[in-house]
Each structure stands twice: as structure tokens, then as C-alpha cells.
Amino acid sequence: MTIRARRTPILLLAASLLAPVLPLAAQGAQGTFVILAGGRAVGAERWEVRPDAGSTRVTSTVSFLLTPLLALEVSAVYGASDQALQLTRRQGEASAQTFAVQQRNRVTVRRVAPGGEKASEFPGGPDVVLLADSVFAPLLRLLPLATPTPRTVKVLYPESGRRGQVRLERQAAPGGALIRLSGMLEGEIELGRGGEVLRISLPALGLEARPDPR
């Protein structure tokens, strides 16, 4: 279940995700999160962040120890004004895909499942962030958006259509920093002295992610 991967200080990642887009870091970041529920490992997420044609691409492969096994694959591209997200969900023999593209102030979503295909549209804008349910890597997009002064951003989960506002606040903490999330998404992201992610906690979902120590 454990996948080993090179871990790079998240400061490099934050530099590449700043909006408007600054010159991207030459080196990306990658790693593996162990996903916990009630202190017990229930899955793993292998993720990578890298520059992509003036934007930043976040990819993630998640496996949950369910019966049957639940597997999620996400590829998201975050740019200065446009962004896109593709999600594939597989469980047993069932599979479905979601495609979301934001251009200017409109997000177009297409969902493809065995029962058919459905398209919908949502308001977009520079303060909208596309996220994915039960996937932690896209939350890294929020890191450079959090400042000591509380800031509110809009989030959209294309697969379910859920959307709302999330309040971000970065606070100093012993050994690093703490980013608090409130509103539609409740939780916190703990960072080390080098900006590395030490913990992502989402109490409302009963889930927590920590870097694989091995």
C-alpha cells in the first residue's frame, strides 16, 4: 500500500502556485500521503506537482482500502486565470470520469458514467479553486493563497457540483506554520520550518493525511 517517492520542500511548490503566475520553480515536488481515519491507515495518495506550459500541474493517485477497492486519479492544471481538472473514479467494475475547465468567468463540467453523460456550467473567476472529494493534493493549491490576514476564496467540486466559500488564515506555530480552513471546508494544514506539509486534517470528513515516513 505504501509508495515511496521523493519529497521536496513545499516552498518550491508554493512559489509555482502563486497567482498571478510567477516564474515557475525549475524543480517540482512529489511525495506520498498516508490517509488516516480514526488514527488508522485507510489509504495512500501519491502526488506530484510540476510546471506545465506557464501553469502548474497537480497529479494524484489515491487508493482507499475499501471493499471493493476505491481508486481515484486526478490531474489538475492551475494557471493565472484558467484552470482544469480531470477526475477518474473506479470501484469494482464501476468507473466514472469528470472533466472541468474554467475559462475566464465560466466553469464547464462534463461527467461521463455508464448511465450516460451530463454537462453543466458554474460561475468561475480568479478566486475559484477546483478541488476533488477525498483527494488531498489539490488542497496544496490553497497554500500560497493563505495569509496572516484572513482571506476568503471560492471552491468548486466538479464531480458533485458542491461549491461554497472557504476562509483561509495562516498563523505562526511552533516549528512552522498552521493554515486554518473554515466555512465550507473545515480543517487545518500544518507546515514545518522548511514549508513542508506535516499534516492535513479534515475533521468534518474524519480524514487526515500525513507524509509517508518511509
pLDDT digits (tens, 9 = 90+) for 84-116: 999 999 998 899 999 999 988 999 999 998 889
Confidence of residue 194 (pLDDT cuts 50, 70, 90): confident
Cis before 23? omega within 30? no
Task: Tell me the per-residue pLDDT of 148-184, one tens digit each, with 9 for 90 and over.
Answer: 999 999 999 999 999 999 999 999 998 899 999 999 9
The number of C-alpha atoms within 13 Å of 113 and in the hemisphere containing its C-beta is 11
- Please give the angle made by the CA atoms of 203, 101 and 91, to the nearest 5 degrees: 55
Mean pLDDT of the chain: 86
| CA pair distance 11, 65, nearest whole angstrom | 31
Which residues 6+ apart lie within 8 Å of 37 measured at CB? 206, 207, 208
Q: What is the pLDDT of residue 8?
A: 42
Top pLDDT among 195 and 91 is at 91
Record the pTM: 0.85
Q: What is the pLDDT of residue 36?
A: 96
Confidence of residue 1 (pLDDT cuts 50, 70, 90): very low
How many angstroms separate the Cα of 2 from the Cα of each of 50, 92, 106, 139, 201? 22, 21, 38, 21, 20
Which residues 6+ apart lie within 8 Å of 62 measured at CB? 35, 43, 44, 45, 46, 71, 72, 73, 74, 134, 135
| CA pair distance 123, 168, nearest whole angstrom | 21
pLDDT at 125 over 70: yes
Which residues 6+ apart lie within 8 Å of 40 measured at CB? none
